[in-house]
Chain A
Amino acid sequence: MSFEGLPIGTAAKKRSFREKLYFPEILRGLGVTIRHLLHNILHTADMPTMQYPEEKRVYSDRFRGRHRLMKREDGSPRCVACQMCSTACPADCIDIVAAEHPDPSIEKYPATFDIDLLRCVYCGLCEEACPCDAIRMDTGIYEIAADKRSSFLVDKEFLLNNTTDGTL
């Protein structure tokens, strides 16, 4: 069987005598690593590591974080329960139960509006689909952590009053 035309592994590369001796090359490698070590000991501040809970990375305004529901002037949700977002959602994480709105000029309102944050893929299609700009992902929250699964199932009240401290 021939392997012509296929890339050949490093074993085929001709090595010089110095490289075959192995030890000079090991010493060269040790030199590289010790340079990094000494530089980092002497210039601790230059290290690119971010001390995360104290320092936080600044993301762009377009960053899609945790969702929030927008409100009308009177404080009721802007959502008209049209199900466009839950239809667009590829992860099927939005669950809306519609109810009739007392105001005749508004057809429906969401009786419940639940998002399963564990299923959400943060694609932003719900934002795109929404005809009345009721759901947005502009909170910038990316620290989404809780100690039980049920905490990630957030409801209408939570989404309307989304906090920015990352707790669920």
Chain B
Amino acid sequence: MTIVYEALAKIGFMFALIMGMVVVLIWMERKGAAYIQDRTGPNRAAILGVRLAGLVHPVADVFKLLFKEDVTPTNRHRALYNLAPWLVMTVALSTYAVIPFGDFLTVAGRRIPLVVADLDVGMLYILAVASLGTYGVVLAGWAANNKFTFLGGLRATAQMISYEINMGLALLGLMLVFGSLRVTDITAGQGALLWGFIPMWGVVVQPLGFLLFITTVYAETNRNPFDLPEGESEIVAGYHLEYSSMKFALFFMAEYAHMVIGAALISTLYFGGYQVPWLPRPALESHAGLLLTGTLIFTLVMSLLIAFAFLRRASRERGKFQDARDREPGLGAGLWLIIGLAAAAGLTRQPWAVGSAGAEVFASLAQVGVFLFKLVFFAWLFIWVRWTLPRFRYDQLMNLGWKVMLPLGVANLLVTALVMAVV
């Protein structure tokens, strides 16, 4: 039974992580886009005057979409129309099963690997499930019985066929280098050092493969510059044009869930996943006391600085709005002071002399933290690229996929195979 509870706990953690990341990413997208375009972005929605710099807006969105009327086209294919958003979301969530978010955690003497399903064909699973996501898009486009959605679905199909091959080729190179289809093996292999000083991350041993892979991931998630299935300036909203209310919300969330997968895949396969560079698991455990003390001191200093910044804002903007929003800087300062106090309290309990059990837990948490850091960075990269590059034209997309990336992918595979055979 314990193994079932473990699996459920891990699934719950992953689900909470994805949903939390979706909210954070929607916020990052809006605020990041605004700041890149010299705007302020969302800053109105508030709970008791606390606006969290616009982080409350996704919550307001959820309530809006929940209470919105679900308008459906009359001549839809009823079953497929209802199936499509469910399919998109389910597929988006299920890829996470094989992605390790940490090495292992020891609880009550049991060594729990921090991955939901450690499949020995994990890479094939990723490729298979990732391409299933297109079915949702195509079905949505077809079942809604609308020209624009249909065009969106068609574009999604063509794009998927063109880029799936390149993704497979890029991943084949990686599989050759690490000699395994198991995702945990690949992540573990990236903890090694190349020539004794460079972390053997996928991006170091497969630089061209990484460029090909990141491009195909952007294409698979239908994000700019590959968002042709949506193409709002050409085909209105593309495949999800005829969806409203929570059905639309599922598509919207699935897009961000796909981004989280994309970021997780990039960081797991090419940037070492949970591996801390130059600090493999034994080193993390033996230096746990030092690292824990350093983390606490860093937290203390940073939280005090942030609290000070909030206090300065509170004094400068006293009575600026004449409503509940005026309390916000004070509350922010209070929150960060509490975090700082917690760090200080941790420092008084002699963290440098942490026991071996504590060191293990710290090492596990540090690896999960590093994985989350990489995840957030690559998720931000999706947003950053979206607000930098314009959309590809359809023929450019096909040229890039078939005439540029396919030959490069084959060449990369051949060179990798030759090098692996020689070395």
The answer to whether B388 touches A48 (Cβ under 8 A) is no
Q: Give the distance to chain B from A46, nearest Cβ to Cβ, in Å.
A: 9
The answer to whether B38 touches A26 (Cβ under 8 A) is no
Which one of A34-42, A78-86, A152-160 is at the interface?
A34-42
Tell me the A1-55 residues at the B interface (CB within 8 Å).
23, 26, 29-30, 32-34, 36-37, 40-41, 44, 47-49, 51, 54
Q: Which one, A30, A40, A41, A49, contacts B384 given CB within 8 A?
A: A30
The answer to whether A36 touches B38 (Cβ under 8 A) is yes
Q: In the bound complex, how far is the Cα of B389 from the Cα of A14, in angstroms? A: 20
Which residues from chain A contact B387 at a C-beta distance below 8 Å? 33
The answer to whether B36 touches A36 (Cβ under 8 A) is yes
Q: Which one, A23, A34, A49, A54, contacts B39 given CB within 8 A?
A: A49
Q: In the bound complex, how far is the Cα of B43 from the Cα of A47, in angstroms? A: 14
Q: In the bound complex, how far is the Cα of B387 from the Cα of A29, in angstroms? A: 10
Interface size class of B (residues with CB under 8 A): 10 to 19
Q: In the bound complex, how far is the Cα of B380 from the Cα of A34, in angstroms? A: 11
Which residues from chain A contact B415 at a C-beta distance below 8 Å? none
Interface centre among B36, B211, B321, B384 (most CB of A within 10 A): B36
**B35 close to chain A: CB less than 8 A:** yes
The answer to whether B388 touches A32 (Cβ under 8 A) is yes
Q: In the bound complex, how far is the Cα of B36 from the Cα of A41, in angstroms? A: 10
The answer to whether B389 touches A37 (Cβ under 8 A) is no
Q: In the bound complex, how far is the Cα of B250 from the Cα of A114, in angstroms? A: 49
Answer whether A29 and B37 are a contact pair too, CB < 8 Å, given A37-B32, A54-B321.
Answer: no
Q: Which one, A23, A37, A41, contacts B211 given CB within 8 A?
A: A23
**B72 close to chain A: CB less than 8 A:** no
Answer whether A36 and B40 are a contact pair too, CB < 8 Å, given A23-B211, A54-B321.
Answer: no
**B385 close to chain A: CB less than 8 A:** yes
The answer to whether B38 touches A48 (Cβ under 8 A) is yes
Which residues from chain B contact A54 at a C-beta distance below 8 Å? 321
Q: In the bound complex, how far is the Cα of B40 from the Cα of A155, in angstroms? A: 40
The answer to whether A47 touches B38 (Cβ under 8 A) is yes
Secondary structure of the B contact surface, majority rule: loop
Q: Which one, A37, A49, A51, contacts B36 given CB within 8 A?
A: A37
Which residues from chain A contact B32 at a C-beta distance below 8 Å? 37
Q: Give the distance to chain B from A29, nearest Cβ to Cβ, in Å.
A: 5
- The closest CB in chain A to the CB of B387 belongs to A33
Which residues from chain A contact B388 at a C-beta distance below 8 Å? 26, 29-30, 32-33
Q: In the bound complex, how far is the Cα of B36 from the Cα of A37, in angstroms? A: 5
Q: In the bound complex, how far is the Cα of B400 from the Cα of A23, in angstroms? A: 13
Answer whether A33 and B36 are a contact pair too, CB < 8 Å, given A26-B388, A26-B389, A54-B321.
Answer: yes
- The closest CB in chain B to the CB of A38 belongs to B35
Q: In the bound complex, how far is the Cα of B211 from the Cα of A54, in angstroms? A: 47
- The closest CB in chain A to the CB of B385 belongs to A30
Q: In the bound complex, how far is the Cα of B114 from the Cα of A22, in angstroms? A: 38
Q: Which one, B40, B321, B389, contacts A49 given CB within 8 A?
A: B40
Q: Which one, A23, A32, A34, A40, contacts B38 given CB within 8 A?
A: A40
Q: Give the distance to chain A from B409, nearest Cβ to Cβ, in Å.
A: 15
Q: Give the distance to chain B from A119, nearest Cβ to Cβ, in Å.
A: 30
Interface centre among A26, A37, A48 (most CB of B within 10 A): A37
The answer to whether B389 touches A34 (Cβ under 8 A) is no
Q: Give the distance to chain A from B337, nearest Cβ to Cβ, in Å.
A: 23
Which residues from chain B contact A34 at a C-beta distance below 8 Å? 36, 384
Which residues from chain A contact B40 at a C-beta distance below 8 Å? 44, 47, 49, 51
Q: In the bound complex, how far is the Cα of B32 from the Cα of A41, in angstroms? A: 10
The answer to whether A40 touches B389 (Cβ under 8 A) is no
Which residues from chain A contact B385 at a C-beta distance below 8 Å? 26, 30
Q: In the bound complex, how far is the Cα of B389 from the Cα of A26, in angstroms? A: 8
Q: Give the distance to chain A from B289, nearest Cβ to Cβ, in Å.
A: 35
Q: Give the distance to chain A from B407, nearest Cβ to Cβ, in Å.
A: 14
Q: Give the distance to chain B from A41, nearest Cβ to Cβ, in Å.
A: 6
Which residues from chain A contact B211 at a C-beta distance below 8 Å? 23
Tell me the B1-58 residues at the A interface (CB within 8 Å).
32, 35-40
- The closest CB in chain B to the CB of A31 belongs to B388
Tell me the B364-411 residues at the A interface (CB within 8 Å).
384-385, 387-389
The answer to whether B384 touches A47 (Cβ under 8 A) is no
Which residues from chain A contact B38 at a C-beta distance below 8 Å? 36, 40, 47-49
- The closest CB in chain B to the CB of A28 belongs to B388
Which residues from chain A contact B389 at a C-beta distance below 8 Å? 26, 29
Answer whether A36 and B321 are a contact pair too, CB < 8 Å, given A26-B388, A49-B40.
Answer: no
Which residues from chain B contact A30 at a C-beta distance below 8 Å? 384-385, 388
Instruction: In the A-B complex, list the 3 residue pairs whose CB atoms are closest, starting with the nearest.
Output: A40-B35, A49-B40, A29-B388
22 CB < 8 A contacts A-B: A23-B211, A26-B385, A26-B389, A30-B384, A30-B385, A33-B384, A33-B387, A33-B388, A34-B36, A36-B35, A36-B36, A36-B38, A37-B35, A37-B36, A40-B35, A40-B36, A40-B38, A41-B35, A44-B40, A47-B39, A49-B38, A49-B40
